[in-house]
Amino acid sequence: MTASPDPKAANQMWGGRFASGPDAIMQAINASIGFDQRLYAQDIAGSRAHAAMLAATGILGDSDAQAIGEGLLTVLSEIETGAFQFKVELEDIHLNVESRLTEIIGDPGKRLHTGRSRNDQVAVDFRLWVRDQCDQAIAGITGLMRAFVAQADVGADWVMPGFTHLQTAQPVTWGHHMLAYVEMLARDRSRFEDARARMNECPLGAAALAGTSFPIDRHMTAKALGFDRPTANSLDSVSDRDFALEFLAASSICAMHLSRFAEELVIWSSAQFRFVRLSDRWTTGSSIMPQKKNPDAAELLRAKLGRILGATVALFTIMKGLALTYSKDMQEDKEQVFDAADSLMLGLAAMTGMVGDMTANREVLEASAASGFSTATDLADWLVKTLNLPFREAHHVTGTLVALAEKKGCDLPDLMISEMTTVHPGITQDVYSVLGVQNSVRSRLSYGGTAPARVREQVARWQAALG
């Protein structure tokens, strides 16, 4: 809960230089506690590590450090139980925590800020929070990958149309299509893993921008907070938001992949396609049309990408014009990242549920795979391999046969051999062995191809990799 402003409190926290409190509008634009209170756990963890380091280096007495450590746990408990009163006049999570700590333990609380600044404090808090979000994204993506692999395992040999330009191109297998998203998500996961590894340096101890004259041990605080090392340049430490930008970039690409499959679910679940059935858990009805079963979850996921992309562009726009080091503009970084992270995690959870629940209509998929002359490429390949025609000539012969079948209102396998030989006399009965959709997909044995044998190999590989 947020209390009414008290100008004196703000003046006491940072204000020897100022004779009066800020204007109410200035206070409203300056305060960030309305959103950065989400960093409370990271802020308290950073402060406890900082206090322990100050004691270990002799900068702070052991009794003061112990009081600070215990007092911070009390503050943490108050926040988690909802008893903590956040104050707008204290601007941010850092001053709110420090002020309450001082109320609880007295003067030792005032010593906590020795050797640091709010600049490095927010840098470490935010980095810790984003690192946690990377871990959550990695876990969420892994769960979704498992759901797609399970679908691929069930339908490794189910035939469906493969599309280009949203028109039937060649037959593929359901399992192969599902595994395409596993590959996309694997890249997404690796991007979050790479971003996490790159951001795992600790800015705490860079102070305002130049470091500090106190004999602090930055390696100690870095280790205590799970970082690989401290950052190497104090100017960069307090002005860097690359870690947040990388998280947003990875989130945008991942959300784009979710949006692509969401689009397919919208199309596939329509009465015109009937490729899949979505469960009642992920659909809604119409207020006026009782027959409707709308894929609203998929549609909302498709839209969530806009929020995440918007956050990415917003933070790039904030950062692009800032000279070193810290500027108040950077306070606008967190809401964008918070919203994007929330949208991504919700999207991953919802998509995992939809993929796990959806049921593919095998008969409709196979019937659709056979439409639109989907085995024309197989016919052209047969002409090359069997009659030794140049591919361009084979392409022309096949196109002529497609036109003939279209004129007759039938598919390629329905043409009689006598009709085919009028286009090319070398065509024999053996051509029918490649014209069925099942024969087509079985023949695509190149590595990464759609043949059921290859799909099962990839399913086994991913099952082993994902555990």
Q: Which residues contact 394 (CB under 8 A, 6 or more apart)?
A: 380, 381, 383, 384, 387
Residue 237 is among the residues annotated as catalytic for this protein: no
278 touches 292 (CB < 8 A): no
Nearest to 242 by CA among 231, 253, 256: 231
Q: What share of the chain is helix, strand, coil (3-state, %, to 5)?
A: 65, 5, 25
The dihedral through the CA atoms of 165, 170, 175, 179 has a sign that is negative
Q: Phi-psi region for residue 91, left (φ > 0), alpha (ψ -120 to 50) or beta?
A: left
Q: How many CB atoms lie within 10 A of CB 88?
A: 20
**Integer Cα distance of 120 and 115 in angstroms:** 10
Distances in Å between the Cα of 376 and the Cα atoms of 34, 177, 236, 380, 383 are 61, 20, 59, 6, 11
Catalytic member of 286, 327, 371, 433: 286
Rg of the chain on CA atoms, in Å: 31
**CA–CA–CA angle 360, 258, 347 (5° rounding):** 105
Phi, psi of 168 (to 5 degrees): -55, 125
Gap between the Cα atoms of 220 and 228, Å rounded: 11
What is the Cα–Cα distance from 137 to 345, expressed in whole angstroms? 7
Bridge partners (DSSP) of residue 167 are 164
Who contacts 418 (Cβ-Cβ below 8 Å, separation ≥6)? none
Q: Is 165 a catalytic residue?
A: yes
Number of helices (H), then strands (E), in the chain:
19, 8
Distance CA 91, CA 345 (A): 28
361 SS3 class: coil
**Residue reference for tokens 């990271």:** 42
Instruction: Write the CA distances from 313 to 159, 237, 294, 317, integer angstroms.
Output: 41, 22, 31, 6
Report how far Cα 19 is from the mean position of its chain's Cα atoms.
47
Question: Please, which residues have CB within 8 angstroms of residue 274's CB and are 6 or more apart in sequence?
Answer: 268, 361, 364
Of 20, 165, 418, 446, the active-site residue reads 165
Q: What are phi and psi of 179, to 5 degrees?
A: -70, -20
| Other beta carbons within 10 Å of 2 | 13
The amino acid at 352: T
Catalytic positions: 165, 286
